[in-house]
Amino acid sequence: MQRVSTVLTVLNLGILAFILSQKAGSVLADSPPTVLRGQRLEIVDSKGRLRASIQVIPEGPARRADGSLAEQTGKIYPEAVVLRLIRPDGRPSVKIATTQQGSGIDLSGGIDPT
């Protein structure tokens, strides 16, 4: 009886080692993903402040950063893809945007926003 229990214990330990080795292998990242998909990408600094973003802005009226309507003119803006690089004080310094109607780039400078 003791021999059977010893064999079963060794067999169980072998199965456990095999299962754990399979789980550890699947957790490791062997290669980088080929595609990163999402609707928005935000990069923050070590203090948690937003420093860069890429996003698709849907067609519709102009909106502020908080999502509220910027103006009530009734003008509908086309869908846009926007890249923003943001200074530590929270102001965007580089803004690149493209829509079906065209593209634009805004490079804001230094302390004086003009």
The pLDDT tens digits of the residues spanning 91-104 come to 888 999 999 999 99
Rounded alpha-carbon distances, angstroms, from residue 93 to 19, 34, 104, 110, 111: 52, 30, 14, 8, 10
Q: Which amino acid is at 24?
A: A
Q: Give this prediction's pTM.
A: 0.59
- Mean pLDDT computed over every residue of the chain: 82
The pLDDT tens digits of the residues spanning 48-76 come to 999 999 999 888 887 766 666 766 667 88
pLDDT over threshold 60, residue 4: yes
What confidence tier does 111 reach under pLDDT thresholds 50, 70, 90? low
- Under DSSP, the state recorded for 69 is B
Sorted by where each begins, the domain ranges of the chain are 1-30, 40-107
What tokens does 41 get? 């990408």
